[in-house]
Chain A
Amino acid sequence: EAGVAQSPRYKIIEKRQSVAFWCNPISGHATLYWYQQILGQGPKLLIQFQNNGVVDDSQLPKDRFSAERLKGVDSTLKIQPAKLEDSAVYLCASRTLNTEAFFGQGTRLTVV
């Protein structure tokens, strides 16, 4: 079974630039999560989708972050404009109702 695919693996941008991350979940997984993991901390939930609907985006900084999941499959997370404090690993995870969450390898973002 293929895992959760994320791209790019690494990204370096200057502050105030924009960036987008892509996630392809495991086939058939209706629930998709985006997490932000700052170095030395645990993952922090940014947004949760059920199919293509948003279930929880209470911790998403909506003035600069946006996410979509078209057709209930792939998802993109965008940051515009980026700040220095956005430097982190962005993890995508997916699951079904009866399984645990499976994580991708993440995208490491450095904002300079």
Chain B
Amino acid sequence: EDQVTQSPEALRLQEGESSSLNCSYTVSGLRGLFWYRQDPGKGPEFLFTLYSAGEEKEKERLKATLTKKESFLHITAPKPEDSATYLCAVATNAGKSTFGDGTTLTVKP
């Protein structure tokens, strides 16, 4: 059975304090790993897709990396507007997709 585990469940940072979120996965035949941002009362918003180990993607203060067992979302010098829940999802070659339960990030000014 495909599994996605995100850690930590919650993360509180001071503005400017860099950190990383983890997404560990166990799947049969990874097609892609996705990162989404979800604000309260809204649907998930796409951030990145990673397809193979060693791949990295960047967008503003966020950088996502991928290994064969896990992905990291690095947040550099976060701002309060980066506060949200960050969701990781995997899609398999069989067409299945599974989400993790997310990491809720709070950035204090």
A41 in contact with B101 given A93-B43, A105-B41 (CB within 8 Å):
yes
Point out the residues of chain B lying under 8 angstroms from A48, CB to CB. Answer: 95
Contact present for B46 and A101 (CB under 8 Å): yes
Measured CA separation A103–B98 after assembly (Å): 15
CA distance A45 to B101 in the complex (A): 13
Contact B95 A106 (CB under 8 A): no
Interface majority SS (helix, strand, loop, mixed), chain B:
strand
- Size of interface on B: residues with Cβ below 8 Å to A: 21
The chain A residue with its CB closest to the CB of B6 is A42
What is the total number of residues of chain A having a CB less than 8 Å from a CB of chain B? 20
Q: Enumerate chain A residues within 8 angstroms of B95, measured Cβ to Cβ.
A: 48, 55-56
Most buried by A among B6, B42, B43, B97: B43
Interface string of B25-36 (1 = CB under 8 A from A): 000000000101
